[in-house]
Amino acid sequence: MSQWPTLARQGLWSNNPALVQLLGLCPLLAVSTTVVNSLGLALATLFVMIGSSTAVSLVRHQVPGAVRLPAFVMIIAAFVTCAELLMAAYAYALYQLLGIFIPLIVTNCAILGRADAFASRQPVGLAALDGLMVGLGFGIVLVILGGARELLGHGTLFSNMELLLGPIANGWQLTLAQDYQFLFFVLPPGAFFVAGMLIALKNVIDQRRTRHSARPAATIARTERRVRVTGVIK
């Protein structure tokens, strides 16, 4: 189980699906208008991610290579349906708010990417952990993006959290600016802008760290085909 720290670091930081692979941008940019929207979609994606990675790993010896992608999509779709029904049962208002973006989790290429690149060739435990870490990495970026856009666009934080968390979250809303609205950050261009800034921030932190550490960064074992869009290919 020596791969666990590596998997965690890759999923959360160095191969983060949202900041490095730039996968799953459609829900990332469309839904991240508020913290509650982001958190709802992040939890649903995390659930699907863990479930599908585990299931794909379980059936990996039975699925022939030629039909693996349709089979994986079917598995993912099954978990997305579960997530959708669960959300409709326990957080109906949020379910209505997120609308089409819950079924669209099926087409989130971060999930299919992990299923094909990692889960289909690794044992169950590792695949589940990878699903958890990549899902967390995606979810954390989604929530940060939602928070930044809610703050910059509406001047509030944690509004309507009761839609997801129930009555305990009543009154969680922090209003940092009264009568404030900056539509740019509410609309999709603002999502691109904030996501770009987050990627830039990550690259700056990476640069600082390589500059400060005298020894070269440890080489990461190449156990899977990695997809990178931003950052430096090591």
Partner 1 sequence: MSMLHASQAADAPISTGGTPPTASLMRWVAAATLPGIMTMTAFFGLGVLSNIVLAAAFAFVLESTVLYLRKRPILPALNDSSALVTGVLLGASLPPASPWWLIGVGMVAAVVIAKQLYGGLGQNPFNPAMVGYALLLVSFPAHMTLWAPPQPLVGESLWAQIMGSLPSEQIDALSGATPLDAFKQKADELSATRFWANDPLPAGTLEAWRMISLAWLAGGALLLARRIISWHIPAALLGSLALLAMLFHLADANQFASPTFHLLTGATLFGAFFIATDPVSAATSRRGKLLYGAGIGTLIIVIRNLGGYPDAVAFGVLLMNLCVPLIDLYTVPRPEGHARGAMR
Q: Point out which residues bind partner 1 (CB under 8 A).
A: 182-184, 187, 189, 193
Q: Is 155 helix (H, G, I), strand (E, B) or coil?
A: coil
166 phi-psi bin (left φ>0, alpha ψ -120 to 50, beta other): left
In DSSP terms, 157 is beta-bridged to 174
Give the nearest distance from C-beta 194 to partner 1 in angstroms.
12
Give the nearest distance from C-beta 158 to partner 1 in angstroms.
23
Compare residues 98 and 151 and give the one whose CB is closer to partner 1: 151
Distance CA(38)–CA(29), nearest Å, equals 10
- What number of H helices and E strands is found in the chain? 10, 2
Q: Which of 135, 229, 234, 153 is nearest to 189 (CA)?
A: 153
Give the nearest distance from C-beta 179 to partner 1 in angstroms.
10
Give the nearest distance from C-beta 62 to partner 1 in angstroms.
49
Compare residues 96 and 181 and give the one whose CB is closer to partner 1: 181
Compare residues 51 and 190 and give the one whose CB is closer to partner 1: 190
Compare residues 87 and 191 and give the one whose CB is closer to partner 1: 191
